[in-house]
Amino acid sequence: MTISGIEHIAVVCKDTTKLSKWYAQTLGFVEVHNNKKTPPTILLKAQNGIMIEFVPSEGRPRIKTEEKDEGWRHLAILVANFDQTVVDLSKKGVEWIGEVKVSSSGTSKARFLKDPEGNLVHIIERTGPL
């Protein structure tokens, strides 16, 4: 087997243009593909090369899920300076969920937020191995 890693994940969304712009403007991702259809499918690349694909919804409403329901839970965004990132994102008006969580070893800090369509995202800084 020659699997080399994760290339991208995809999120189905109501407004691919609006949501991808939020990820670009708020989190600094860069657009690398836009199929120019109406509505478009858009791919953004994070600083470490992992991509998020924004796929247009066909209009069926989302089933409401809670933090511990089965299925994908959240997208974790690795940051180099947690405290500064919290300040920067707060200035951009992100919707924080809960307080900062520090690992028992003290080698990681994390905090959840929601993107404009309600998807859970968390920022995390790791200063040591798992």
Show the domain range for 123: 71-130
Give the strand order in the sheet containing 75-78.
Answer: 75-78, 120-126, 108-114, 95-102
Q: Are residues 55 and 75 in the same domain?
A: no
Tally of structural domains, the chain: 2
Q: Is residue 78 part of a domain?
A: yes
Q: Tokens for 122? A: 């968390």
pLDDT for residue 1: 85
Q: Give the CA-trace dihedral at 55, 56, 57, 58, to 10 degrees.
A: -120
Residues of the chain with confidence (pLDDT) below 70: 65, 70
For position 130, what pLDDT does the model report?
81
- Across the chain, what does the average pLDDT equal? 93
Predicted pLDDT of residue 73: 83
Verify that 27 and 55 share a domain, yes or no: yes
Q: Are residues 75 and 100 in the same domain?
A: yes
Secondary structure E strands in 1-130: 8-13, 30-34, 42-45, 51-56, 75-78, 95-102, 108-114, 120-126
Global pTM exceeds 0.85: yes
